[in-house]
Structure formats: C-alpha cells, structure tokens
Structure 1
Amino acid sequence: MRNLIKSADPKVMKLHPLTNMRGRLIGLFLFVSCMAMGSAFALTLTPVKVAPDVYAFIGDTGGRTYENYGMNANTGFIVTTGGVVVIDSGAGYLAAQAMHRAIKQVTRQPVKYVVNTGGQDHRWLGNGYFREQGAEIIAARPARADMEQRAGMQLDALRVDLKERLDGTQPVYPDRLFEQRETLRLGGTEIQLQFFSGGHTPGDSVVWLPKQKVLFSGDLVYVDRLLGVLPFSNSRNWLASFEQMEKLKPNKIVPGHGKVCDLDLAQRDTRDYLRLLRGHMQKAYDSGADLQTAIDSLDQKAFSRLQNYETLKGGNASRVYLEIEAE
C-alpha cells in the first residue's frame, strides 16, 4: 500500500501526507458543493416595478408548496428616502429573508415598517424576520385578532408542505394597530392604510399611494385565479369593501393574487364573481331551495378560465349559501 507507512506500533497505520491532503480537499469540495446546492434551492424573488419606487413580488397562483416556500400570494415594498415600507412579510422567516435579499438589490435603505394587509399566513408569518431588522409592524386591529386565533393552525398546516423551510418561523404579531385609517409619511411619501369591512379574512385592509394612484389590495382582489370563500370569509363584507376600494379609482392594483392589474380586471375577476355567488344564492334561499339544489342550479362557467376553478367553485357556492342562511 504505497500511501501508507507503518508506525512504531505495527497494528496502527498512519496516512501518508498526500493521502491526508487528498482527504481534506475532498472534504472541502463536498462542503462547497453542499453550500452551492443550498444556494441553488434557496428562494429567489424578483421584484416587479409597478411605479417609481413601488415594487411587487408576484407569487404563484397555485397552492402553497415546498418549492415556493408558501409564497402563493403577492407582497411588495415601497422605497422612500426615509426607508422602506414592506407590504406583507411572506409565509415564514426564510420567505421574508428572501424578500429582504431582493429589496437590497434595489435599495440600501433599511426596512422601517411592515404592513400586514390581513391574517392569512403569507401576509404575516415573516414578521419575525423583519422585527429582527428593527421594523415596526402595523395592521388593522381585526387582522391581529384573526392572526391570534389561527396562528397555530396555520403553522401546523404549513409545516406539512414546507417542512424545514418553515424553520425559524414564530408568530410575531403587529405592534401598531389601526382602526379604519392610518397615514404614514416617510421620506416625503404619503402612504395610506385603510380598513373597510374585511372580506376574504376579517382584517383585510389596503395600502393606498394617492400620489402614484397605486393600490396594494391584499386579499380583497384576486385576478387570474378563482378567489376562495373560506370558513372565516364574509362575502357581503367583501363586496362592501370592494365598493369602498373602487372609490379610490386606482390606476394600478397589486392584487392579493395574480398579476398587477387595473380596476377593470379586478372588477371582472373578483367583484363580478362575488356578485354572481350572492345574487344566485340569495334568490335560491328566498325561493326555499335547499343547499344542494342551490349549488346544482348555479352556473359558474363564466369564471372557468380562472386557475383553481374546479378546486374552489363548490366550496365557494356552499359557503355563500350558508352565510346567507345565517344572515
């Protein structure tokens, strides 16, 4: 064995220096390879410029997955000379960290505020990361109550799909709450936070930039994919909130889900669908139709072009009927 030499004890063999060096090089190669693989699979987010100093991260329109780190919703940020305002912190610590990496490619300004537009997991479970960076976290009061009620269930559900990619995520709640309206003035930029009546979740709010006429709608607007009426949703409040939102007359909307859009598309994909559900189910209930009859007679095919249509249409119809029944 050419690369081995005998020690004083014939039972013990020592490695030749060349073999020792070779082993170290192999170990270093494996370490660097593992680091490279980890980087390759880290979440990379690309900001979409919506207006000067206003950016969005457009999430997947499908479900939460291991590959997307639970980021199946839109988030964003606003750059000012006084710092950055982040709109929604993502579905966990690592997702928030990925957002911050992307923000740093645009500006060196620190993140001053994080606004949670609602209580869904991808709106707020990245708060812990941004709190560590010194950001103040803001939300409508009903959103915090919703977070506190559902945090445990959200974390349990996300852990199934995200596994170790949820590591470091803890429920960190907003420290600053507003009732109906709050105005932030940072670096000469006016940013209005408005809560109307909720909708998809009880605490859904919007972020409005009056000068730029850009609206971050949170989950009050879905485009490209069918919205979900969930057990905690309220379709009547949702339509009322949408009506208030329309009065702002935004030029551009960063919806909760789907591509950046105008008000016309938001009306077609969100408002018109909610009107269909409520109008049909109200008539069915008033005529004495039971739940199954009401569902069977509902024609939703005009919205079949939207992603997740087959998955969500039945539950949406059922929940709106039950909601009307309870009103």
Structure 2
Amino acid sequence: MTSTKPFASSADTDVKEQTLEVLADGVYALTAEGDPNVGAIEGEDFLVCFEALATPVAARDWLDILRRHTDKPVRYLVLSHYHAVRVLGASAFDADVIVAHENTRKLVAERGKEDWESEFARMPRLAKAADSVPGLTWPTLTFSDRLTIDLGGDRGDLELRYLGRGHTEGDLVGWLPEQRILFAGDLVEAQAALYTGDAFHRDWASGTLDNVAALGAEALVGGRGAVSRGRAAVDAAIGQTRGFLNVMIREVGAVQARGGTLREAFEASHAALVDDYGRWPIFEHCLPFDVSRLWDELSGVERPVIWTAERDREVWDQLQS
C-alpha cells in the first residue's frame, strides 16, 4: 500500500526565515523556524563553528551572515553527531580541525553513505545544491569524554562533552561555563518534534538528559526550534524532550506487552503525542521512524538498524498509509 501523505518532508518547500541571535559577546546562534540550528563562538583570534548544515552552498549562506559580525578564520568546526543535514556542508568552513565524538567517526564509516541518501530524500529542501557536497565529512579530531578548547584572552573555555547515548550514540554538546550557554545539538529540541530513528530512548530519557540538566544552562541552543533563554525556558525544553521520549516508551511498550503490532504502536503513540506536539515542525515526518526504532529497541535490537532510502519508504508506507 502506498501512503497518501507526502513522504517525510518532501512536500515542505517553504523557505524558513532565519534569525541570528547574539547570545553573549562573540556567541551566535542561527535558528530557522524548525530547520536545523547552527552556531559560532569567537575565540581571541579564531572561530569555533557548531554544526555544518547539509551542503556547502547552505553553509556558505550561513557564513555570509556570520561574516557581518566577525572575519576571524574558522579554526574548529564542531559536529554534534553524524547525520547528513548536520555535517555535509563542512567543506565550506575551511576549518583547520573538524571535531566530533569518537563514536560519530565510527558511525560515518558504518552508515554515513546510507544516511546521506536517506536524509536528502526525506528533506530535499535542506539539500540546497546537493551536488556541491564533495563527499562524506570525516572528523580530524575525536574524543571520548571531554575536550576543552581555550578560546584565548579572557574569553574562557569551550568544553565539548559526551553526556551519554541519546539522539545517536555519538552526540556531543558544547558548553560555555562562564556564560552558561549550551549548544545541545539534537539532544534537546525547543518546540520542535524529536527525530529518534537512531536513538537510545531509555538512556536519553534518563541519564543523558539528567546530565544535560545538571549543567545548569541559562541559555540553550537545541537542534531545532528557538533559543531557550533563562532557566525556566531551558528546563521546559529539556522537559519537553524528555516527555516526548517517555510517552513513546510508555505507548510502544504497552502495545508490545499485549502482543500488538508495530502499526498499533504507531497509532497509539500518535494519539498520545499529537495534542501536545503535533503542531511542531517535522512531527508527522519523524514519528514513523521514531516508533520503528523504539519498537526494535524494546524488542532487544541494541543498535539502530541502518536507514536506507528503500527502508525509509517501506516504513513510511507501512505506518503513514
């Protein structure tokens, strides 16, 4: 059976308004109405950029905006995880060092090509000038637990931390302890639905988000959605993320416990989430893939099955038809 709904985000052709926010002296975030967020942090004589967008052409558009504020060269490009729409624009930054968690490098090797094909088919609008991508993005510096970048002068440090498995098994965050600003990647979303197709839901909803909350951020840039400013807004974004995960865990677990089907688990999850989350960006796009991965996880499949363009369509047609 073929789905009657347009596949994933293939019908989302509207250009999103980009908003540059200056969070502190030399700390920038670019948000775009639920499209992937990016950021930058000024060192004394260099830049650290956070996330790379989907293509070099899209990344150059972001850099043109950033260059209105600073002409410092990009020394470090930090990638929060391996997903194509976050990393394949890396060549535009001409960075000296590309930083990621060690698990992210392994995931690029294991499934980077398949993820590239999958994500560009799911979100074609983000793949601006897709033929400008020169190939997979490979980190040149990786770490296991923490990496500290001295920003120079009186700018303090940027701490890159691994807080546990979550959105993927290689997510990192960028933490500015002096300014109490957190670049959380897709471990936290602010009024945007979660993509969990490569996730470890139970770890994410418990210890990993506990570790995010324990930092005590006063401003948080999530993977999508508006910047969260103030402790109440930060706590709300973390709580929304945890709530989405816990509802899915509850609903999918209940269907499995009574011997139900994947389709029934999707329908139960959709019904339980739609009132609170259904109006948020990419909810309908994400949920079939989210439930499919969680079904596998609760069935004992430890690591996510690799998504391919063909598998994407099969799951979509099965659950969104």
TM-score clears 0.5: yes
1:277 aligned to which of 248, 259, 274 = 248
**In 2 relative to 1, CA 315–191 (structure 1 residues): closer, same or farther, beyond 3 Å?**
same
Q: Contact 1:45–1:98 (CA<8 Å) still a contact in 2?
A: no
2:85–2:119 contact (8 Å) kept in structure 1? no
Map residues 152-191 of structure 1 onto 2, 5 A cutoff. Answer: 152-157=113-118, 161=124, 162=127, 164-188=129-153, 189-191=156-158
Distance 1:137 1:163, change over 3 A: closer
1:59 to 2, 9, 32: 32
> Alpha-carbon deviations, 1:223-250, whole Å to 9, x = none?
22211221x2221232232121111011
Partner of 1:151: 112
Q: 1:90 is matched with which residue?
A: 53
Deviates more, 1:265-274 or 1:135-144: 265-274
User: Are the counterparts in 1 of residues 189 and 238 from structure 2 also a CA contact under 8 Å?
Assistant: no
1:236 aligned partner: 202
Alignment of 1:192 onto 2:159: yes
- Structure 1 residues 156 and 283: alpha-carbon distance in aligned structure 2, compared to 1, 3 A threshold: closer
Q: Is it true that 1:322 corresponds to 2:293 in the alignment?
A: no
Identity of aligned residues (%): 26
Work out which of the residue numbers 161, 170, 192 in structure 2 matches 1:225: 192
Query: Could you tell me how far 1:292 is from its partner in structure 2?
Result: 4.1
Q: Conserved in 2, the CA contact under 8 Å of 1:92 and 1:169?
A: no
CA distance in 2, matches of 1:155, 1:308: 18
Q: Check if 1:254 corresponds to 2:215.
A: no
Residue 96 to residue 314, structure 1, CA distance change in 2 (3 Å): closer
After superposition, what is the alpha-carbon deviation per residue over 1:142-170, rounded to whole angstroms, capped at 9, x for unaligned?
11112223332344356663474431432
Q: Which residue of the partner structure matches residue 267 of structure 1? A: 238
Residues 293 and 206 (structure 1), Cα distance of their counterparts in 2 relative to 1, 3 Å cut = same
User: Which residue of the partner structure matches residue 111 of structure 1?
Assistant: 74
In structure 1, how many angstroms separate the alpha carbons of the residues matched to 2:24 and 2:201?
A: 31
Alignment of 1:198-213 (within 5 A): 198-213=165-180
For residues 200 and 80 of structure 2, the distance between their equivalents in structure 1, rounded to whole angstroms, comes to: 16
**Residue in 2 that maps onto 1:312:** 286
Spell out, residue by residue over 1:111-138, the C-alpha distance to the aligned partner (whole angstroms, 9 max, x if none). 11111110011222122222xx342111
Q: Which has the larger radius of gyration?
A: 1
* CA root-mean-square deviation: 2.4
Could you tell me how far apart the structure 1 residues matched to 2:142 and 2:47 are?
19
Instruction: For 1:263 and 1:279, locate their aligned partners in 2 and report how far apart those are by CA, in whole Å.
Output: 24
Distance in 2 (CA, whole Å) between partners of 1:280 and 1:44 is 35
TM-score, normalised on structure 2?
0.76
For 1:44 and 1:171, locate their aligned partners in 2 and report how far apart those are by CA, in whole Å.
28
Letter in structure 1 aligned against 2:29: A
Q: Is the 8 A contact 2:189 2:224 kept in 1?
A: yes
Q: Is the 8 A contact 1:144 1:173 kept in 2?
A: yes
Question: Which runs of 5 or more residues in structure 2 are unaligned?
Answer: 1-15, 302-321
